[in-house]
Amino acid sequence: MNLTHPFLDTNGDKLREECGVFGVINIPDASAMAALGLHSLQHRGQEAAGITSYDGDRFYSLRGTGHVADNFSSEEALGELPGHMAAGHVRYSTTGGSGLRNVQPLYADLASGGFAVAHNGNISNAQTLRHELVSRGAIFQSTSDTEVIIHLVATSRYPTIVDRLVDALRMVEGAYSLIVMTPEGMIACRDPHGIRPLVMGKIGKTTVFASESVAFDVIGAEFVREVEPGELIRIGFDGELETLRPFGDIKPRPCIFEHVYFSRPDSVFVGQSVYSSRKSIGEQLAIESPADVDLVVPVPDSGVPAAIGYAQQAGVPFELGIIRSHYVGRTFIQPTQGARSSSVSLKHNANSALVKGKRIVLIDDSLVRGTTSIKIVQMMRDAGATEVHFRVASPPFAHSCFYGVDTPEREKLLAARMDLEPMREYIGADSLAFVSIDGLYRAVGLEKRENTCPQYCDACFTGEYPTSLTDMNARKNADAQLSFDKVD
């Protein structure tokens, strides 16, 4: 393995979901349920977690860095969060930095009373709105895009809190699934395209909201339905539910990558089991790009369901040719550059007895920078595989995400820099293929992508973003102006 390769740093080679949200109203000790729900959403963000509760009189907040269990597993911690309504958040920061002041839910005392918000997604005109607000005298406490929503609500002239929230959200573009708490109850809402997920469940008279349905399984809640794209649901302390659709008729475009990678396989997304979506992607891949091999080997863990689908479709044995260590934490101390470069071998090890002398096809969910793939292909060769083919259960990832997913800058995305053959050569595989965009749509239960009006957000594959990208365009214009000034 060439440790001096310029792209061997594996940091940033996996996409990270920015956040998960959870809300519960009308149950005693709501924060304990929020902690359980958040625990099941831990895969959506491991950097920090927070819960805010309300007891009919006051709001209480506890936020900390690290995992949910690090912050909310003790009776002491939950004792600081009394009340019958609670909202929680797990975070992986992309915008706004990782400081404690950005850990959600964010809270503000508004003229109308307390206002707490937990947000999954990213507002693509947050910087522009923030500049305007600051120029009008607003003072920000955090660098999070979510705080823009609080300031817009605070300065809205509408009389009710729901109208003020709607007024604020009309100015916002991008992706947001929100859980809001006020002294009147809970509001859950999803941006007009429904880019990030949000689902509603019930346990008796208790209503729960979560980023993914898996949270309901864990707390014993019944899945009711998705919060629809562009829908705002308000629940009072009497349990009454009111639903509004203030943004008109806009075509939903939920993130197709939830099917590919972000959601847990035991969740249901847009009416389909995520596990079965992933298996179907593997089947499509086997139909579109067969490989003459002895074994189908998943890149663990996210490549497993697609590899099962591929193997079943191809009639080739599925085997665990790579074993993953579950004990490599993000905080593992890697004192030297050499040690850092071997992090893939710490996490993955070849099952040499199995792959030696075999022709194998590796299945991974995505190829982002390709840095991990190089090492895994080499690891299989070192273990004695005679041929190593590579299949990817998503189309080439060639564009950055601006909707709350941590992606490297476009120049670092392998598919933005290279065509197929150079990519194959770069990762060192005998052959390389990606599932087609229509194959991906077929796997999630649709006939094909409607090119004039796509059913999902697939911008990271196609570059067709469902919303304007005001901040990014402003940055581009500023850069262009700068180079113009320099030439001048």
For ligand SF4, how many residues bind (rule: CB under 6 A)? 11
Cis bond upstream, residue 105 (ω within 30): yes
Q: What are phi and psi of 182, to 5 degrees?
A: -135, 170
Query: Does 344 engage in binding with ligand SF4 (CB under 6 A)?
Result: no
Neighbours of 375 (CB within 10 A): 25
- CA–CA dist 272, 258 (Å, integer): 11
Q: Which one of 92-100, 130-138, 277-285, 401-409 is the stretch in contact with ligand SF4 (CB under 6 A)?
A: 401-409
Between 51 and 460, CB nearer to ligand SF4: 460
Q: Which member of 401, 413, 414, 423 binds ligand SF4 (CB under 6 A)?
A: 401
The answer to whether the beta carbons of residues 59 and 114 sit under 8 Å apart is yes
Among 180, 256, 286, 413, binds ligand SF4 (CB under 6 A): 256
Q: Is the dihedral of CA 10, 13, 17, 19 positive or negative?
A: positive
Order the strands of the 387-392 sheet from edge to edge. Answer: 295-298, 359-364, 387-392, 431-434
Nearer to ligand SF4, 35 or 405 (CB): 405
Question: Among 38, 459, 467, 469, which residue interacts with ligand SF4 (rule: CB under 6 A)?
Answer: 459
E strands, 294-430, where?
Answer: 295-298, 322-324, 348-350, 359-364, 387-392, 405-406
Classify residue 262 by its DSSP letter: I
| Smallest separation (angstroms) from ligand SF4 to the CB of 417 | 18
- Considering only 22, 115, 209, 257, the residue that binds ligand SF4 (CB under 6 A) is 257
Beta-sheet pairing, 359-364 with 387-392: parallel
CA nearest to 155, candidates 124, 179, 134, 183: 134
The reply to whether 457 sits near ligand SF4 by the rule CB under 6 A is yes
Among 109-117, 251-259, 319-327, 436-444, which window interacts with ligand SF4 (CB under 6 A)?
251-259
Nearer to ligand SF4, 63 or 196 (CB): 196
The rounded distance, in Å, linking the Cα atoms of 33 and 91 is 18
User: In terms of CB distance, is 188 or 195 closer to ligand SF4?
Assistant: 195
Q: Is 403 in the site for ligand SF4 (CB under 6 A)?
A: yes
Q: Does the footprint of ligand SF4 cover residue 195 (CB under 6 A)?
A: yes
Distance CA 170, CA 192 (A): 10
Q: Which is nearer to ligand SF4, 51 or 401 (CB)?
A: 401
Give me the 60-99 binding string for ligand SF4, x by CB under 6 A, dash otherwise: ----------------------------------------
Cβ 129 vs Cβ 172: under 8 Å = yes
Active-site residue flag, 19: yes
Is residue 460 close enough to count as binding ligand SF4 by CB under 6 A? yes
Out of 36, 149, 255, 314, point to the residue binding ligand SF4 (CB under 6 A).
255
Nearer to ligand SF4, 107 or 269 (CB): 269
CA-nearest of 397, 393, 390, 386 to 373 is 390
Minimum CB separation from ligand SF4 for residue 351, in Å? 31
Helix (H, G, I), strand (E, B) or coil at 297: strand
CB-nearer residue toward ligand SF4: 206 or 284: 284
Report the alpha-carbon distance of residue 209 to residue 187 in Å, rounded.
Answer: 10
- Distance from C-alpha of 13 to C-alpha of 343, rounded to nearest angstrom: 12
Burial class of residue 113 in the structure, from the number of CB atoms within 10 Å of its CB (0-12 exposed, 13-18 middle, 19+ buried): exposed
Q: Does 123 bind ligand SF4 (CB under 6 A)?
A: no
- Minimum separation from the CB atom of position 486 to ligand SF4 (A): 32
Bridge partners of residue 318, in order along the sequence = 296
Q: How far is the CB of 122 from ligand SF4 (least distance, A)?
A: 9
- Which residues contact ligand SF4 by CB under 6 A? 195, 255-257, 401, 403, 405, 457-460
* Catalytically annotated residues: 19
